[in-house]
Amino acid sequence: MNMRGGEYEGKRVFRFCCEEVKTLPIHTITLYLRPAVQALYYDCLLDLKPQRIIFNPGTENSEFEKLWRQKGVEVVHGCTLVMLRTHQY
């Protein structure tokens, strides 16, 4: 998801928190939003009910992490790109 939607490498990119996204099964959210902006999206992201959220470097937010843990979501601190490259994703 991003703010504009569109397409990337032949795959559809949904507009951030559009209604259609809320109907999809979401396994993992990988977060690239700085903590100061995250609060704007708490409800939208929590409503997606993922199994895991990855806080990339610079996105760590103890308040948001606590909300995820209360919902039983696995919280991971790591770089998604490194995780993909090293088969840890």
Tell me whether residue 65 is in a domain: yes
pLDDT digits (tens, 9 = 90+) for 57-73: 999 999 999 999 999 99
Tell me whether residue 12 is in a domain: no
Tell me whether residue 45 is in a domain: yes
- CATH code, 40: 3.40.50.720
Question: In the predicted model, is pLDDT for residue 29 greater than 90?
Answer: yes
- Residue identified by tokens 């992201």 is 45
* Ramachandran bin of 44, using left for φ above 0, alpha for ψ from -120 to 50, beta for the remaining angles: alpha
In angstroms, the CA 23 to CA 55 distance is: 23
Q: How many domains does the chain have?
A: 1
Full domain range(s) for residue 78: 23-85
In angstroms, the CA 69 to CA 73 distance is: 5
Q: Give the confidence band of 18 by pLDDT, cuts at 50, 70, 90.
A: low
